Structure 1
Amino acid sequence: MKMTAAATKLVKHTLLAAPLMLAPAVSSVVMKAFNQDATFGAVYAQEATKKPPQKTRKTPALSQKVFKKLEAPNQLINPEQGEPDYRGALKLLNEINTDKFNKYEKAQVYNLKGFAYYSLEDYRNAIKQYKLLLAQSPQIPLGLEVQITYTVGQLQFVLEDYDAAEKTIEKWMSMAPIIGADAHALLGQIYYTNKKPKKAIGSINTAVGMYDKKGKTPKENWFQILSALHYEVGDNKKVIGILERLVRLYPKQTYWRRLAGMYGLDNREKDQLYAYDAVYQMGGLSKEKELMNLAYLYMGEDVPYLAAKVLKKGLADKIIEPTSKNLEVYATALRMSQEVKKSIPVMEQAASKSDGGDLYARLAGIYLDSDNNKKAVEVGEKALKRGKVKRKDQLYITLGMATANQKKYSSAIKFFKEAAKDPRSKKFATGWIKYCQNELERERKLAAS
């Protein structure tokens, strides 16, 4: 499974929305950086799966002397007023000799350094400091170890060290007393990048299920990733189901468009029309091909009036080019809508732009159906002159009928004899020939009497 650039960007964006857990001394700073409330812990617990309580650890004390040494850099990182000075904090922290510190005291130094590097977006050095912190286990609080393990996994993910991120987050899950939906989603995203679609689907489905159970709306990007995963494994029905949820919860053009495409792949033309129509109503169809496709869908579902409406507006807005083919489709939509008179000038324009006589032949048939026999003969003969008529026999039938309707039976017979040369029209043309001959005989007798 190849990870696309768009999917990579999406996954990284998701990371920034996930909880970044750090030590209590700096957690409020991180929450602000990630636009999260400082009461995050309580909310996180409410939407998480809980494990049995873990045993607490006995850790060394933080001496007053060490506390005073850390006070100045801590104030630079989290000042009461003004902007943080992370580089200044690192300078002070690097000057501290930790040789005589106990492991808990060293962990506090590494924690502050890690956050300073993180704030400077120097993630590699941040990971280095956090790993030094974790190396002090078990002489550090278990809660701190759990928090920092999660942070390391996130940062490894940011640096695209996906194998390491997977191992770290899986380790964190074995340690954490509470596992939230965001964490399951993050692991799912990591599995996705590591080409483990089944595991990825399972983890993200867990996240979605946790939100559903609480009556909360699952996050948009979770559905986006699930849709991509199911599409890549070829489960189109699951993709459709996810997109149907997306358009209900997050009704955006892009999701309606994708849903329309998936309905098309699943041969659900009527549903495809509804989805495509939603995109159109939202102003999302701005290309000729898109508008023509919508028109074809309308006509295929016997709604030609709406097809004609879309085509008329597209032509007026100069999105649809008035080519012979496009005008022919517009004329057809009008005729199917029982707007025959309106269709005629459109078909005339389409015929004039064509390089053959076929559209003129069709136009002749329209004139015949409209009882305009003279015009039917005129454009029918123009079709013959142009050539490239697919069914000449039908054109001769049209010319014969239009001529016979004008009581020009001798001329009509000539046209019908040409039509009779084609086996497909021989029987029908022969019947008309007999009719015209009878009419000629009747006229002769009337004239002689």
Structure 2
Amino acid sequence: MRNLISAIIVVILAQGSMQVASAQESGAQETKRVPALREQVYSQLARAQELADNGDVAAGLAALKNVESKLSSMNSYERAMLWNFYGYMHYGKDQLDQAINYFAKVVDEDPIPDALKQNTLFSLAQLSLGQGDYTETLAYLDRWQTVVGDDHAQKADVLRAQALYQKGDYQQALAPIKRAIAAAEQNASAGDESWYVLQRAIHYELGETAEVAVILEKMIKHFNKPEYWVQLAGVYGQLGKDKQQLAMLEAAYQQGFLSKGQDLQMLVQSYFFGGIPYQAGKVMEQAIAEGKLEADLRNLKLLAQSWIAARETDRAVAALEQAAALSSDGELDAQRAQVLLNAERYEQAIAAAEAALSKGNLEKPGTMHLVIGMAELEQENYNPALQAFAKAKAFEDARKAAAQWERYATSEKEQAERIKQLQAS
């Protein structure tokens, strides 16, 4: 902004001998005679600027005060330039309210050169936006457009959209920012990244999730930042586009864009619920090993579930053991016992079931007695198996199954004893 205002002053000073300017008002072309900026006034203003540019703003303001003492003899152009320099001086001191007041006095003078009026109105709009005065921003933009005409309205589109967004007029803010972006893309230019950020924010506020996705797709194409890949994946998830979400996360992961734990966790969950548990386990395991995800109860449980679904018994058992060490109940040991039983690792299954019962707080404790009974039965340890089934019958959750297994175990025991007797005779 400071460079812009400096440039305005230099341009206007270069027009010091200008006497006639063309202006547009109310859509009609009208020629206005602008009075001359006399050499005497011009030189005093230039001296004030020189003092300020050399760091002595106080001296510059004093020089302007001297010029102002002759205000009654000055024409509209000279007065406008005086207010312009006051505004510039106060802007340089970060006294923005005073700067705005003086720049407003510039455009109230008439007649003045169109270049001065246009540039000052636009600067006033920018300064008002920076000050959070969005109504004034829009008012100055309207006055600016009256001067320049509709053909140049595009220049103010972004500024107008920003002011409307900050006011909460999201629907009205959408049209100007879309015009700005469309114009840039039509000229084979991406435009400014902040324009897309603004349009995305507007669609978000309007609850237009599908449009947020469209803008993020463009942002990836033009700017390719890691956060845009992750954000688009999240939006796809909100839209129920699970395959697109997984594809986006997978592509981001392969490019090294997923460095945050929460992003990696999103990829793991996408793999898991997408029916690719092995990849879920691999990503989770590596993330924990690299310290990108904590080896906490939640993550270890998800890791174990992934390996169980992928039928990676050893990895599942290891993850369940780690998770169980962090748990206050025996549920994870119970799950480990089931996995080991299914893998026909009977002694380990019995040990895990006993650990689960010892830790307690089980939702279905009878199931663990069933596991012990089945593991013992598979090893033809009939009496321990029957004892375990008898204990299981004491629990409502396992009573029916325990009775069936008990009958089966009794039958197997009797048959084994008959065979043994036949072999002995």
TM-score by length of 1: 0.78
Q: How does 1:4-403 map to 2 (within 5 A)?
A: 16=1, 23=8, 25-26=10-11, 54-76=29-51, 83=54, 85-96=56-67, 97-137=70-110, 139-177=111-149, 178-179=151-152, 181-276=154-249, 282=256, 284-287=258-261, 291-403=264-376
Secondary structure of the structure 1 residue equivalent to 2:31? coil
In the alignment, residue 161 of structure 1 is paired with which amino acid? D
In structure 1, distance between residues paired with 2:342 and 2:188: 61
Shift of 1:292: 4.0
Shift of 1:171: 1.7
**Cα 1:110/1:339, change in 2 over 3 Å:** same
Deviations 1:396-435 (A, max 9, x none): 3322321111112343344445556777766755554444
Higher helix share: 2
- Map of 1:441 onto structure 2: 414
In the alignment, residue 90 of structure 1 is paired with which amino acid? L
In structure 2, distance between residues paired with 1:28 and 1:192: 36
Cα RMSD for the two superposed structures = 3.4
Secondary structure of the structure 1 residue equivalent to 2:10? coil
- Map of 2:21 onto structure 1: none
In structure 2, distance between residues paired with 1:318 and 1:371: 34
Secondary structure of the structure 2 residue equivalent to 1:145? helix
Paired residues, number: 407
**Cα 1:202/1:136, change in 2 over 3 Å:** same
Shift of 1:196: 1.5
**Cα 1:350/1:164, change in 2 over 3 Å:** closer
417-426 vs 121-130, which deviates more? Answer: 417-426
The unaligned stretches of length 5 or more in structure 2 are 15-25
Q: Give the percent of matched residue pairs that are identical in Structure 1 and Structure 2.
A: 26
User: In the alignment, is the contact (CA less than 8 A) between 1:22 and 1:144 conserved in 2?
Assistant: no
In structure 1, distance between residues paired with 2:102 and 2:351: 90
260-269 vs 244-253, which deviates more? Answer: 260-269
User: In the alignment, is the contact (CA less than 8 A) between 2:354 and 2:368 conserved in 1?
Assistant: no
User: In the alignment, is the contact (CA less than 8 A) between 2:5 and 2:123 conserved in 1?
Assistant: yes
In the alignment, residue 33 of structure 2 is paired with which amino acid? K
Deviations 1:87-131 (A, max 9, x none): 433322221223222222322323333333333333233223323
User: In the alignment, is the contact (CA less than 8 A) between 1:291 and 1:311 conserved in 2?
Assistant: yes
314-323 vs 360-369, which deviates more? Answer: 314-323
In structure 1, distance between residues paired with 2:286 and 2:188: 43
In structure 2, distance between residues paired with 1:375 and 1:154: 73
197-206 vs 353-362, which deviates more? Answer: 353-362
User: In the alignment, is the contact (CA less than 8 A) between 1:21 and 1:27 conserved in 2?
Assistant: no
In structure 1, distance between residues paired with 2:155 and 2:9: 20
Deviations 1:36-93 (A, max 9, x none): xxxxxxxxxxxxxxx9894432222233443444443354466xxxx46544333222
User: In the alignment, is the contact (CA less than 8 A) between 1:21 and 1:151 conserved in 2?
Assistant: no
**Cα 1:18/1:278, change in 2 over 3 Å:** farther
In structure 1, distance between residues paired with 2:270 and 2:3: 42
Shift of 1:322: 3.5
User: In the alignment, is the contact (CA less than 8 A) between 2:6 and 2:88 conserved in 1?
Assistant: no
Secondary structure of the structure 2 residue equivalent to 1:57? strand
Shift of 1:185: 0.6
Return the structure number with greater relative CO, CA threshold 8 A, min gap 6.
1
In structure 2, distance between residues paired with 1:154 and 1:353: 57
In structure 1, distance between residues paired with 2:329 and 2:35: 94
In the alignment, residue 119 of structure 1 is paired with which amino acid? G
Shift of 1:282: 4.0
Secondary structure of the structure 2 residue equivalent to 1:223? helix
In structure 2, distance between residues paired with 1:318 and 1:271: 28
In structure 2, distance between residues paired with 1:26 and 1:320: 58
User: In the alignment, is the contact (CA less than 8 A) between 2:61 and 2:89 conserved in 1?
Assistant: yes
Shift of 1:169: 1.0
Secondary structure of the structure 1 residue equivalent to 2:72? coil
**Cα 1:87/1:384, change in 2 over 3 Å:** same
In structure 1, distance between residues paired with 2:333 and 2:375: 14
User: In the alignment, is the contact (CA less than 8 A) between 2:27 and 2:146 conserved in 1?
Assistant: no
Shift of 1:184: 0.7
In structure 1, distance between residues paired with 2:3 and 2:373: 77
The unaligned stretches of length 5 or more in structure 1 are 1-15, 30-50
123-132 vs 163-172, which deviates more? Answer: 123-132
In the alignment, residue 88 of structure 1 is paired with which amino acid? A
